[in-house]
């Protein structure tokens, strides 16, 4: 929410620029503003519906009957994290989603019944949960019963997804099988954190998500089916359009209706409708229809980062294709004017021209798509990379063959379970798919360690830079400045802005509270390294991992586990570890990472941690601690633990309603400091 004003400013400026163009463009500006007003109305309606459900069930222990929509890794053996579609609450029929971070092992597509405690999602995850349609967070209590398999469409497609993923990964290495399962059937549960980080650093994260490219390839396979001339009738085209629409619907079910695949599926459905009504559908119309339909059911869908990246990537791809086409036209026009002799080019020359044309198309599309997604990434304060364009040109051509071979291996693997003869054909197909996946993995691992692979920007600064670049591009178009001059200028200015931000943040440390309000963890990051003060449950661990990924952190130098009675060890990878529960009573443990100095003192029922960062003193508590003498610090990293005999000037907190607080205040959960000392600024995160 802190980035609402910068995002709104960019939108308003864009609308004004469209209006300034005059003519028919003013109608588009009016449509954009009316769409924004409609979107606010839809979000208000959705918010009222969610608030009604939360007022009814939040803070209560109830018996839920639910369908398991999806599962993921949990942090306890024999358990999973799950998204549940609730069918009944204490026997009353309802229809809403909840998320449970730790649940006895079950499979997607099954039905369960058990005792749960419901609560409102934590502030740091609330909007993201709402964007996914999750209304409440659920904590499993007891009495879970498995009621068998659900027969809903989502449940059946979830079982199909699991079967395809299992058949595809049969006999493959973990990394290659995990990448293929994510790309082909949308099963991301087998991707390791190292692999995710490598693909993010190489600018290939979008490859691991089933998107419009995947839908286009799968539906395009239907067009490759042989057909006779007499079959090219209206009836044949309508039948094929129904088959394409059904294939898109099946992909939506298998992948769990992710924003990217749902947008592409709506485009297929709109084009199929055009075949029946006799009207062609263009990409922008399909894109707009997809956005409206996805927001009608959930007004918060626009906050989903996958939704935003999917739409802007399509716009960038269309712009890149247009630039590539115009560039080719100009090239051939100049060539015709300069041509003096009419000689037929050799085959080698033709092959080189075809190769150069493909590289040119890939370069234009990758550059424009990266430029379109850059504002979304930096405004959402996510890490980005300078290698996205290079990766797009170098390895994106592998995606098509990988999907084809991967789909073939999955289908043949399923067939081989009933008829072993298909195994003979499956093995070479799977070998080809695995080889291509290995090549892409190697590229990702090697590029992700290069300088500039993980860049993070402050949201306000990024908004100003994006506004300046947009205005420059508009001025270049209005003054008809040649692309050969405008493009290098924009790239140079963007590079200077990135370099300036990197230089300004070189000695800046970010201190953030993430996780649950009751027991938040502390994440301290500088550039690509981090120190984590961990406490809480598996929900907090997931929030910590998400924050580390968002900041582009490669190495956790130190992890301090502040829990007094941990049910299981924290599995976040770190170079050094300190476990408060393992220390003897009344003992002290000191550590230093860079210029972050820590001192952990263990008492009988808790621990107290003092830290010095950038000339500022911090203190945080876990359990029950009552110091004999007053302890002074500039900052208290607050939790539900009562800070008795602690003297502090200000505090970072996720909640303003801890029992020990005397008055309510706006929660401030993030702080930025320089190592030389002094506060740059502090910002709340709602």
* Integer Cα distance of 65 and 85 in angstroms: 9
More confident call, 144 vs 487 = 144
Residue 560 confidence class, pLDDT cut points 50, 70, 90 = very high
Residue 224 confidence class, pLDDT cut points 50, 70, 90 = low
Mean pLDDT for all residues in the chain: 80
238 has a pLDDT exceeding 60: yes
> Lowest mean pLDDT: which of 214-228, 315-329, 507-521, 607-621?
214-228
* Integer Cα distance of 15 and 25 in angstroms: 10
Give residue 359's pLDDT: 73
Average pLDDT over residues 458-471: 75
Give residue 7's pLDDT: 61
pLDDT in tens, 611-670: 988 778 899 988 888 888 888 888 889 888 888 888 888 888 887 777 777 765 566 788
More confident call, 222 vs 2 = 222
Give residue 112's pLDDT: 92
Give residue 685's pLDDT: 40
Give residue 334's pLDDT: 66
682 has a pLDDT exceeding 70: no
Give residue 680's pLDDT: 47
Task: Read off the DSSP letter of residue 77.
Answer: T
Give residue 332's pLDDT: 67
Residue 438 confidence class, pLDDT cut points 50, 70, 90 = very high
> Lowest mean pLDDT: which of 351-360, 467-476, 487-496, 644-653?
351-360
Average pLDDT over residues 120-141: 83
Residue 486, C-beta contacts closer than 8 angstroms, at least 6 positions apart: 472, 473, 476
Helix (H) or strand (E) holding 600: strand 596-602
Give residue 253's pLDDT: 76
Give residue 23's pLDDT: 65
Which stretches of 112-233 are DSSP H helices? Answer: 126-131, 153-169, 174-185, 193-201, 212-223
Contact 148, 110 (CB under 8 A): yes
Q: Which two tokens stand for residue 558?
A: 């130190």
Give residue 664's pLDDT: 58
pLDDT in tens, 88-130: 999 899 999 998 878 888 888 889 999 999 988 876 678 888 8
* Integer Cα distance of 298 and 279 in angstroms: 29
pLDDT in tens, 336-351: 665 555 566 677 766 7
> Lowest mean pLDDT: which of 150-164, 199-213, 219-233, 488-502?
219-233
Residue 491, C-beta contacts closer than 8 angstroms, at least 6 positions apart: none
Average pLDDT over residues 519-524: 89
Q: What backbone torsions phi and psi does residue 311 show, to the nearest 5 degrees?
A: -70, -45
449 has a pLDDT exceeding 70: yes
Residue 407 confidence class, pLDDT cut points 50, 70, 90 = confident
> Lowest mean pLDDT: which of 188-197, 345-354, 575-584?
345-354
Contact 38, 126 (CB under 8 A): no
Give residue 399's pLDDT: 81
4 has a pLDDT exceeding 70: no
Average pLDDT over residues 591-616: 86
Average pLDDT over residues 1-5: 51
Give residue 684's pLDDT: 41
> Lowest mean pLDDT: which of 247-251, 532-536, 578-582, 664-668?
664-668
Contact 387, 165 (CB under 8 A): no
* Integer Cα distance of 148 and 164 in angstroms: 21
Give residue 651's pLDDT: 86
pLDDT in tens, 33-80: 777 778 788 888 888 999 999 999 988 899 999 999 888 766 566 778
Average pLDDT over residues 255-272: 76
Give residue 337's pLDDT: 61
More confident call, 353 vs 177 = 177
Q: What backbone torsions phi and psi does residue 595 show, to the nearest 5 degrees?
A: -110, 20
What is the distance of C-alpha 221 from the center of its chain?
28
* Integer Cα distance of 537 and 446 in angstroms: 34
Average pLDDT over residues 478-505: 78
């Amino acid at each position: 929410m802190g980035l609402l004003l910068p995002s709104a400013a960019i939108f308003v400026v864009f609308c004004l620029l469209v209006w300034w163009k005059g003519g028919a463009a003013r109608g588009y500006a009016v449509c954009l503003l009316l769409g924004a007003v409609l979107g606010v109305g839809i979000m208000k309606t959705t918010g009222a519906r969610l608030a009604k459900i939360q007022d009814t069930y939040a803070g209560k222990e109830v018996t839920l009957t639910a369908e398991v929509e999806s599962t993921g890794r949990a942090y306890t053996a024999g358990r999973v994290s799950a998204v549940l579609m609730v069918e009944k609450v204490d026997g009353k029929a309802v229809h809403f989603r909840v998320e449970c971070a730790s649940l006895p092992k079950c499979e997607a597509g099954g039905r369960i019944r058990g005792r749960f405690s419901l609560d409102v999602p934590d502030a740091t995850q609330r909007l993201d949960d709402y964007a996914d349609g999750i209304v409440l967070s659920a904590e499993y209590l007891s009495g879970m019963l498995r009621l068998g398999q659900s027969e809903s469409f989502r449940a059946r497609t979830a079982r199909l997804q699991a079967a395809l993923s299992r058949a595809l990964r049969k006999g493959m290495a973990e990394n290659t099988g995990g990448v293929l399962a994510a790309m082909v059937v949308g099963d991301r549960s087998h991707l390791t954190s190292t692999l995710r980080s490598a693909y993010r650093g190489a600018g290939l994260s979008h490859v691991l998500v089933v998107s419009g490219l995947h839908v286009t390839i799968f539906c395009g396979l239907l067009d490759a089916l042989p057909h006779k001339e007499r079959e090219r009738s209206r009836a044949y085209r309508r039948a094929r359009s129904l088959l394409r629409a059904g294939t898109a619907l099946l992909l939506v079910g298998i992948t769990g209706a992710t924003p990217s695949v749902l947008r592409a599926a709506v485009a297929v459905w709109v084009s199929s409708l055009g075949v029946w009504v006799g009207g062609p559908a263009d990409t922008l119309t399909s894109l707009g229809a997809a956005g409206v339909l996805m927001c009608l059911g959930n007004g918060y869908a626009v906050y989903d980062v996958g939704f935003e990246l999917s739409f802007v990537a399509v716009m960038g791809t269309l712009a890149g294709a247009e630039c590539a086409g115009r560039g080719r036209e100009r090239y051939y026009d100049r060539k015709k004017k300069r041509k003096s002799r009419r000689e037929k080019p050799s085959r080698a020359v033709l092959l080189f021209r075809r190769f150069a044309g493909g590289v040119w198309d890939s370069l234009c599309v990758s550059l424009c798509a990266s430029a379109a997604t850059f504002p979304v990434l930096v405004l959402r304060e996510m890490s980005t990379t300078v290698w996205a364009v290079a990766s797009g040109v170098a390895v994106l051509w592998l995606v098509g063959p990988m999907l084809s071979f991967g789909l073939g291996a999955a289908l043949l693997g399923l067939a081989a379970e009933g008829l072993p003869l298909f195994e003979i054909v499956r093995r070479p197909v799977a070998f080809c798919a695995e080889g291509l996946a290995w090549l892409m993995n190697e590229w990702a691992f090697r590029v992700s360690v290069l300088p500039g692979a993980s860049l993070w920007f402050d949201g306000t600064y990024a908004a100003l830079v994006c506004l300046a670049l947009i205005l420059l591009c508009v001025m270049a178009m209005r003054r008809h400045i040649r692309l050969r001059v405008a493009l290098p200028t924009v790239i140079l200015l963007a590079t200077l802005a990135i370099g300036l931000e990197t230089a300004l943040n070189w000695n800046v440390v970010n201190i953030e509270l993430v996780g649950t309000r009751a027991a938040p963890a502390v994440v301290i990051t500088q550039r690509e390294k981090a120190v984590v003060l961990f406490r809480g449950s598996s929900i907090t661990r997931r929030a910590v991992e998400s924050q580390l990924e968002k900041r582009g952190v490669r190495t956790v130098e130190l992890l301090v586990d502040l829990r007094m009675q941990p049910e299981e060890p924290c599995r976040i990878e770190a170079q050094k570890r300190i476990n408060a529960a393992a220390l003897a009573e009344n003992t002290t443990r000191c550590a230093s990472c860079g210029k972050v100095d820590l001192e952990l003192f263990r008492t009988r029922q808790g621990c107290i941690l003092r830290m010095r960062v950038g000339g500022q003193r911090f203190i945080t508590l876990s359990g029950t601690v009552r110091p004999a003498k007053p302890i002074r610090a500039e900052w208290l990293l607050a939790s539900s633990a009562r800070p008795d005999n602690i003297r502090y000037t200000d505090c970072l907190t996720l909640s303003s309603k801890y029992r020990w607080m005397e008055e309510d205040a706006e929660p401030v959960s993030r702080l930025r400091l320089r190592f030389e000392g002094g506060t740059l600024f502090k910002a709340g995160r709602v």
